[in-house]
Amino acid sequence: MKPCVIIVDDDDAVRDSLSALLECEGFRVQTFCSGRHFLGAAPQRDVHCLIVDMHMPGMSGLQIANCLKRDNRNIPIILITGNLGTALKIQAEKCGITIMLEKPFQNGALLDAVSNCQNHR
């Protein structure tokens, strides 16, 4: 069975483009438009990694990471954001996020990040 990547982003175009890219690389992909939808339906097993947007209405990427950490759900997280400053990097690392990408990023950078998630389990 192919590894599953979950994308949580409130932007339809981002979800669609990332999903198409990852599916072309052989991943199964599930998408969610909000943290609330993801946390309510997230699978427990067979998740390779989570790609989550930092800024979304209702729940940020860091809040999602904190919920997963609190519930002992060890899923590698790739945080994507338009503004990756030092303060955000520090906050993300405290939440257990070790892979962060600043938008706009190249497809290769995302694919490398997804590949590297095996090392962050």
Residue 99's beta-bridge partner residues?
Answer: 78
Q: What is the DSSP code string of 47-95? A: EEEEEEES--SSS-HHHHHHHHHHTT----EEEEES---HHHHHHHHHT
- Dig out the tokens for 85 from the structure: 């400053």
Angstrom distance (rounded) from CA 96 to CA 113: 15
pTM for this entry: 0.93
The CATH number, out of the four listed (3.40.190.10, 3.40.50.2300, 3.40.50.300, 1.20.210.10), of the domain defined by the range 4-120: 3.40.50.2300
What does the chain come to in residues? 121
The dihedrals phi and psi of 78, each to the nearest 5 degrees, come to: -105, 115
Alpha helices (runs of H) in 27-85, residue ranges in sequence order: 35-41, 61-70
Each residue's pLDDT tens digit, 3-60 = 899 999 999 999 999 999 999 999 999 999 999 999 988 666 778 999 999 999 999 9
pLDDT, the chain, mean: 92
Q: Which residue is listed with tokens 């599953």?
A: 4
Task: Assign 31 to helix, strand or coil.
Answer: strand
Question: Considering just the CA atoms, what is the radius of gyration of the chain in Å?
Answer: 13
